[in-house]
Structure 1
Amino acid sequence: MINHTNGQGRPTSKRVLVIGLDGATFDLIKPWAGAGELPNLQCILNGGAHASLDSTLPPMTAPAWTSFATGTNPGKHRLYDWIARDPDSYQFSPTTALDGQVPTIYTLLSQAGRRVCALNVPMTYPAQPVNGVMLSGMPAPDLQANISYPPTLLDEIVQHTGDYILYPDPGQAYSDSGVDAFLQRLYRCTDLRIRAFDYLRSQEDWDFAMMVFNGTDTISHAMWKYMDRNHPLHDPQQFEKYGRSILNFYRTVDAYLGKVLASLGDNTVLMLMSDHGFGPFHKFIHVNNWLIREQFMQVGGSVRAHVKKRLFDAGFAPMNVYNTLMQLGFGALKRKVVRGQGQGLLKTLFLSFADVDWSRTVAYSLGNVGQICINV
């Protein structure tokens, strides 16, 4: 955090600028900054205050950014993941900002008459009326959704930038043929995001402005194996081409921070923050498979469920099919299925929650970091 004073040690700041680096970690930032690769981040580390903070439980983007926005833990704001179960049934649906139970900083500042400028902050979808402007981040589904306030804001931004991209596509990088396309879209998305945020900051008389770079998280998911020589999927031949990909993106962010630092007035506090850290990801398990094996989750007794269970035991599982699609060059089809456009087909072919005998099920896993829910 960089804070300007009046020369007598007392803050003179009247505005707050927050830059979020999703998934950023000091494990990368400090060595790179110390080596001269990230000079502006090094300047901020030297000239401001910094510390490592614990993330939320679970340490995920959705609950963590909501905890920042509300000052409460997930047990109070009630957003634990990107999806949640309907308390009156066993139907599951995406969570949004409307599911939050605690007022956010954007709302509280607006009620206090402060001007807000928020762009690409996770869990701000759908965009809520604020005293200022808001362009939603995750989990906004597309540009046609209710992602901006006022509703004309997105069109105004596109008129200035020429385009706007909600997200990069990390799924492209899961096949060797798609890595370059992923990186190209990532940098295009980031450039448009920066231009949009700079435009809004120049147009608005804001008191609180915030933007989140989700690319620091996305590129770490997709490209860590190229950097990490100990990763089981590391390819030494690809290291020369892609081994600095994560560093290069951090350098892009660092260059932007340099421009931000140069433009700060004496009345502005700059805060950098992350929602969680990052590290190597060598293996994963399917928790529900383990719950079925240990009989904490029970498959129903219908003929269809029985047949799907037999096929599952024989290896006919989504991950195996996904891997085959990727190897055959059908990565785009795989991504469409995973993102919901083929969920009906998945439920027809494979075991799903629709095949669970909930009356005999003790626990189930929901989400993507392995949290286990008790069936009560």
Structure 2
Amino acid sequence: MTGKIYVIGLDGIPPRRLESAVERGDVPNLERAMDCVSGKTVSTNPPLSMLAWSTFATGQDAGKHGIYNFMLRDEGKYTTHFPSYARLRSNSTPLWEYLDAVDVGSGVMNLMPGYPPSRSKGFHIGDNVTSPNGSSFIHPRDLSEEIEQEVTKYELEPVTSYSRGKSESVLQEYLDSLFGMEQDRTEIGKYLIQNKDCQVFTYIFLGPDSLQHSLGHLLDENHPEYNTELAEKYGDKFFELLSIYDEFIGWLMEYMNEDDILMVLSDHGHGSVKREINLNSWLYQNNYLHFRTHPWTKLKLFGYNHVFEATKYTLKKSNLLNPIKKFLTTREVNDDDDQDSDSSNTDTNSRDLKDMLTVSHLDYDWSSTKAYTIASGGQIFLNTEEKHEEGWITTEYERICNELVASQSGLEFASGALN
């Protein structure tokens, strides 16, 4: 390799909003890069970050690399776990390991799934989704201290989270922490480029995706929760965030040599979410999923049907929802975690507590359940005898699949068709 390659990933950038940023003059350096060569690509199906970045890293689809969602089913069981870098490399070979095999160093920052971090030549900084809090998510380990001494501490995620319904002060705190974190990461990125012997650098910035998830209702005038006053104050924050990355890209373009290559890309777009469907509820209502008659299951179902939304709203308002979710889904950090250990990123004790307190696979009557889901993204699993410990479906597989496709193709809300 004669020159260096720089890959900058901006998570969740819709082409229409990038075009608006160009028209507004917010991203002059990106515009300059686009004048060289630009185009639109097709994302993965479904267009989820975990799946899409795995496909980018390996050049394979989910059927081969095995990362098809933010939550994966344990083989032969009904339990679940977070994706891991070990799972990715057990099924496929990421780009930087090909480079490592020919003694070419690479630097990777924040590409999911990134925990445990790769031990390939160069450096690897894990992502905020799969890296447990307090974990050694940076390789080599001494790089973490070096970054903090020379630049600033590497934060995994914004200190403050925000979702619709919270106060404006929480919104401002979230924006301050998000913008500060992304600004810090560009400075860390510059330091690593200037001081590390790598031929390929791959940096992923998740800020655009985070901001649109949090402020999507303020970016769409037709959203049912659109707030004119807040939109006037915060509607341009997406473009302000892009300007942080644009400054970094401008610095990088000036730093690059003539033989170097710069690639800026995104994993998927972003749209306004106005309605959602709980597929497990739909499967239950249409006799594909059945519950046990145990008193504890009945109590949990009563809570879900009559108390859940009010409790969720209260926890959101008091900023307790995300900490509770994190406690119930994050496992203990094990210093022995390595890139070859495909261990679950969910501690057994916290997972058992989550399953006990919420409606889960423990409450399903598997002897009669035909289909179920485990996460967002629309994947439906059939309770097959071959792949489930209590599965029973064999010859009916194709018929049930076709039946589900036909039934869901005609789904409608009361006010009109889904599409």
TM over 0.5: yes
Runs of 4 or more, structure 1, over 4 Å off, are 342-346
Which residue does the alignment assign to 1:81? Answer: 69
Which residue does the alignment assign to 1:337? Answer: 324
State the Cα distance separating 1:227 from its structure 2 match: 2.3
For residues 1-376 of structure 1, what are the structure 2 equivalents within 5 Å? 14-47=3-36, 49-100=37-88, 101-142=91-132, 144-168=134-158, 171-174=161-164, 175-176=166-167, 177-313=169-305, 315-317=306-308, 319-326=309-316, 329-331=317-319, 333-341=320-328, 346-376=354-384
State the Cα distance separating 1:65 from its structure 2 match: 0.5
| Superimposed CA distance per residue, residues 73-130 of structure 1 (whole angstroms, 9 cap, x where no aligned partner) | 1111111112211112211111101112101001111111111111111212111111
Structure 1 stretches of 5 or more lacking a match?
1-11
Distance 1:13 1:26, change over 3 A: farther
State the Cα distance separating 1:165 from its structure 2 match: 0.7
Which amino acid letter does the alignment assign opposite residue 367 of structure 2?
Answer: S
| Superimposed CA distance per residue, residues 38-59 of structure 1 (whole angstroms, 9 cap, x where no aligned partner) | 2111111112x22211111221
State the Cα distance separating 1:353 from its structure 2 match: 2.0
Aligned equivalents of 1:92 and 1:55: distance in 2? Answer: 25
Aligned equivalents of 1:330 and 1:141: distance in 2? Answer: 25
Distance 1:135 1:350, change over 3 A: closer
Q: Please, what is the CA RMSD of the aligned residues?
A: 1.9
Aligned equivalents of 1:155 and 1:354: distance in 2? Answer: 43
Indicate conservation of the 8 Å contact 2:9/2:205, yes or no. yes
Aligned equivalents of 2:178 and 2:16: distance in 1? Answer: 22
SS of the counterpart of 2:162? helix
Indicate conservation of the 8 Å contact 1:232/1:282, yes or no. yes
Which amino acid letter does the alignment assign opposite residue 323 of structure 2?
Answer: K
Aligned equivalents of 2:267 and 2:162: distance in 1? Answer: 24
Aligned equivalents of 1:209 and 1:268: distance in 2? Answer: 11
Indicate conservation of the 8 Å contact 1:13/1:266, yes or no. no
State the aligned residue count.
359
Which amino acid letter does the alignment assign opposite residue 12 of structure 2?
Answer: G
Which moves more between the two structures, 267-276 or 248-257? 248-257
Which moves more between the two structures, 32-41 or 59-68? 32-41
Which amino acid letter does the alignment assign opposite residue 53 of structure 1?
Answer: T
Aligned equivalents of 2:177 and 2:220: distance in 1? Answer: 23
Which amino acid letter does the alignment assign opposite residue 326 of structure 2?
Answer: R
Aligned equivalents of 1:312 and 1:127: distance in 2? Answer: 38
State the Cα distance separating 1:345 from its structure 2 match: 5.7
Which moves more between the two structures, 170-179 or 105-114? 170-179
State the Cα distance separating 1:143 from its structure 2 match: 5.2
SS of the counterpart of 1:272? strand
Which moves more between the two structures, 133-142 or 208-217? 133-142
SS of the counterpart of 1:117? strand
State the Cα distance separating 1:26 from its structure 2 match: 0.9
Which residue does the alignment assign to 1:7? Answer: none
Indicate conservation of the 8 Å contact 1:170/1:222, yes or no. no
Indicate conservation of the 8 Å contact 2:160/2:173, yes or no. no
Structure 2 stretches of 5 or more lacking a match?
329-349, 385-419
